[in-house]
Amino acid sequence: MRLDGKNIIVTGAGSGIGKAIALMCASYGADVSTADLNTEALKVTSAELEKLGSKCVAVTTDVTNFESVTAMVKQTQDTLGEIDALVNCVGWDIIEPFWKNLVEYWDKVIDINYKSVVYCSRAVLDGMMEKKAGKIINIASDAGRGGSSGETVYAGAKGGVIAFTKSLAREVARYNILVNCICPGPTNTPLYQGQPEKMRQALEKAIPLKRVAEPEEVAGAAVFFASDLASFITGQIISVSGGLTLYG
């Protein structure tokens, strides 16, 4: 399983799962465009990518702004060439009861977790449709499949990503563009580490494998979807959650 000659955009590549995906894609031979709002974090990721021998471009991007997204895509195309795969990995949340949420919080959660997927996907589609090839890999959450107490609007946004994935997969199949979705469970990211210890212990106890995922374990699924091994898979949702959510 190699990604040699592939140009891949990874959003949210400054840290956590996005960074792990960018690094793993590079380790399998891809050239990578990293997009994140945190410029300093992107510099760190870029340095690690270069050590792996990857040609890379780091673009400070506000994925909740369509103009910023289209500029990032154009810069990627100008630097690396046509885009073979997009990984939509930006995500954000605060855990609290729904009735305590502020309207501003709802808007931010929906913009970051759902609208960013819409914007980035649309921005790469013209090039993929023209060459009749491409892959879009969306990082949702198991919260979007089964709900999650204290994350109601986040779960709704991630559920939207799941439905968006399936619908877009149907629309663009005629262009040989494959669209799939990964739903991580609790994962050892900076956002997770910021949660109260009692909550982290409860989550780890609830997971059949008795631990949370490492970002690299989610990255493995993304690399698979980006590879030629997944050439006949589209519209699919895969959980990487240690068995936390077991669906028949």
Distance CA 91, CA 100 (A): 20
- What are the C-alpha distances in Å from 4 to residues 7, 13, 49, 183? 9, 20, 14, 26
Distance CA 52, CA 61 (A): 23
Residues 6+ apart with CB under 8 A from 137: 85, 86, 87, 88, 179, 180, 181, 182, 222, 225, 226
Beta strands in 83-186 (DSSP E): 85-88, 134-139, 177-184
Catalytic residue check, 247: no
User: b/e for 215-224, b at 16 or more Cβ within 10 A?
Assistant: bbbbbbbbbb
Distance CA 133, CA 142 (A): 28
Residue 136 contacts residue 178 (beta carbons within 8 Å):
yes
Strand order in 134-139's β-sheet?
56-60, 31-36, 7-11, 85-88, 134-139, 177-184, 237-240
- What are the C-alpha distances in Å from 22 to residues 87, 104, 132, 188? 9, 31, 24, 17
Distance CA 184, CA 52 (A): 26
Q: Which of 154, 175, 192, 247 is catalytic?
A: 154
Residues labelled catalytic:
154
